[in-house]
Amino acid sequence: MRVRIWKRGIIVAEKSEKKVKVSDGQMVTIDNVEYDLGKLSESAKAQLSNIKFVDLQLQQLNSELAVADTARIGYSKALKSELEIVGKSK
């Protein structure tokens, strides 16, 4: 799902998946269809808020994955160095 929010012709948030900021007076584009946020039902606004919440969780998890990936690379380099020392002592 592609979501784009704009106000007065200026894009204020966009993501190819589902990242939105719920605020009246703004427009939201979902799957290439524009909607006035002020005219959406409370349920629709709640779903957009849920999408925002989940997007923040995904962003946090992706950051944690990047940290773990970086640590793994460091550990791999350290292991290779140790194995070179062991190999030289034989």
Q: How many domains, the chain?
A: 1
User: What's the mean pLDDT in 47-67?
Assistant: 92
User: What percent of the chain is modeled with pLDDT above 90?
Assistant: 37
Q: Which domain holds residue 30?
A: 3-88
Which residues are within 8 A (CB) of 90 and not within 5 positions of it... i.e. 6 or more apart?
A: none
Question: 10 falls in which pLDDT band (50, 70, 90)?
Answer: very low
Phi/psi region, residue 9 (left: phi>0; alpha: psi -120 to 50; beta: rest), is left
Question: 57 falls in which pLDDT band (50, 70, 90)?
Answer: very high
**pLDDT recorded at residue 12:** 45
